[in-house]
């Protein structure tokens, strides 16, 4: 599995015993079980071959009754690899919002999401051994862990959620509900589309300039050469958005120390042969980001 990294910094470990996945070394060091899946069901590192077809989410073109048992079976295998089961899982509806839900015992193991979990793109919990899961195929997931208060958060941060500073919303919920101190927290920005691959319209730049500030928008957007549908150059090019930098800025603004934050150097579109990617039109399914509220080394 030849993953193309954007720099040489090692922040991930690749696990191939069972369903393959990446885990963050920083979270592993805290004893927090965590993963990010690929499109592979199995992979042999010696031969460099594997079976594709991993399915963790019900897609819009699928019938829930038919697809749900299949994707749940795969997620259950992943949960067992992390040391959990789907009876402890809490998932959200994910509609590109900045809404964050505080998980309760009644939210765990549900096959159908209740009304209070709809239009939610992040979850936080201090319930021991809860398994949080979010999905994405270019939008990064942001993992948050507080080893002092034994609480975690996991959010889906596409451009709309990033605009709404969803990682900061998660941190604020953890502070208010669990008594967490951001100075104690650790965060990891998961795999997602890189700046070079993430072309945006001027209206997205304008939204960030208005809701953040023009100075912050200039920091996370760059102009790249671009052509129209007929191949003609677009004067001035088009904007590209750096979701990694934007979410880093939000985590720092929330009070998490810079040396407690890891930033993915894996682009899902650049690695569309390994990960599902919306922008690469490789959307047979999505990746799952998972983490368990367990601190084995603390």
- Give one DSSP letter per residue of 124-178, joined into a string: EE-STT-EEEEEESSSPEEEEEETTTTEEEEEE--HHHHHTTHHHHHHHHHHHHH
Q: Write down the pLDDT at residue 297.
A: 62
Count of CB atoms situated within 10 Å of the CB of 236:
10
Q: Please tell me the distance from the alpha carbon of residue 87 to that of residue 289, in angstroms, as a whole number.
A: 17
Q: Write down the pLDDT at residue 105.
A: 93
**Residue appearing with tokens 């819009």:** 60
CA 175 to chain centre: 21
Residue-level pLDDT, tens digit, the chain, 298 residues: 889 999 999 999 999 999 999 999 999 999 999 999 999 999 988 888 899 999 999 888 777 777 888 999 999 999 999 999 999 999 988 999 999 999 999 999 987 777 677 889 999 999 999 999 999 999 999 999 999 999 999 999 999 999 999 999 999 999 999 999 999 999 999 999 999 999 999 999 999 999 999 999 999 999 999 988 888 999 999 999 999 999 999 999 999 999 999 999 999 999 999 999 999 999 999 999 999 999 986 4
User: Which distant-in-sequence residues (6+ apart) come within 8 Å of 183 by Cβ?
Assistant: 255, 256, 257
Distances (CA, A) of 106 to 27, 114, 116, 134: 27, 10, 11, 18
HSE (side-chain half, CA atoms, 13 Å) at 163: 16
Would you tell me which CATH number, out of the four given (3.90.1530.10, 3.60.140.10, 3.40.50.2300, 3.90.226.10), belongs to the domain 12-193+267-292?
A: 3.60.140.10
Sheet containing strand 21-24, edge to edge, reads 12-15, 21-24, 34-37, 287-292, 131-136, 89-90
Q: Which tokens belong to 208?
A: 């960030």
Specify the pairing of strand 287-292 against strand 131-136. antiparallel
* CB of 55 closer than 8 Å to CB of 283: no
Q: Please tell me the distance from the alpha carbon of residue 292 to that of residue 298, in angstroms, as a whole number.
A: 14
Q: Quick one: which of 29, 31, 33 has its CA closest to 11? A: 29
What pTM does this model have? 0.96
The burial of 213, by beta-carbon neighbours within 10 Å (0-12 exposed, 13-18 middle, 19 or more buried), is given as: exposed
Q: Please tell me the distance from the alpha carbon of residue 68 to that of residue 225, in angstroms, as a whole number.
A: 42
Q: Write down the pLDDT at residue 7.
A: 94
Q: What is the DSSP letter of 232?
A: P
């Amino acid at each position: 599995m030849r993953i193309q990294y954007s720099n040489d910094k090692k922040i991930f470990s690749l696990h191939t015993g069972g369903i393959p996945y990446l885990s963050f070394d920083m979270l592993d060091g805290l004893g927090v079980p965590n993963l990010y899946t690929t499109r592979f069901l199995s992979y042999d590192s010696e031969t460099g071959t594997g079976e594709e077809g991993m399915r963790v989410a019900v897609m819009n073109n699928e019938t829930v009754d038919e697809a749900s048992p299949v994707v749940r079976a795969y997620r259950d295998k992943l949960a067992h690899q992390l040391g959990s089961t789907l009876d402890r899982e809490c998932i959200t509806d994910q509609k590109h919002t900045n809404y964050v839900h505080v998980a309760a015992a009644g939210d765990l193991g549900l096959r159908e999401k209740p009304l209070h979990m709809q239009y939610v793109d992040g979850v936080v919990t201090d319930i021991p051994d809860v398994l949080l899961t979010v999905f994405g195929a270019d939008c990064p997931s942001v993992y948050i862990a507080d080893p002092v208060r034994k609480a975690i958060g996991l959010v889906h941060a596409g451009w709309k959620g990033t605009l709404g500073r969803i990682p900061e919303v998660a941190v604020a919920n953890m502070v208010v509900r669990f008594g967490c101190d951001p100075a104690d927290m650790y965060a990891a920005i998961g795999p997602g589309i890189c700046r070079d691959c993430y072309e945006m319209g001027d209206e997205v730049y304008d939204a960030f300039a208005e809701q953040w500030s023009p100075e912050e928008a200039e920091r996370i957007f760059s102009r790249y050469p671009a052509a129209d549908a007929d191949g003609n150059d677009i004067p001035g090019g088009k904007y590209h958005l750096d979701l990694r930098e934007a979410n880093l800025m939000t985590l720092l603004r929330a009070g998490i120390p810079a040396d407690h934050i890891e930033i993915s150097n894996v682009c899902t579109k650049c690695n569309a042969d390994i990960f599902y990617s919306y922008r690469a039109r490789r959307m047979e399914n999505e990746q799952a980001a998972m983490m368990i509220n367990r601190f084995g080394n603390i």
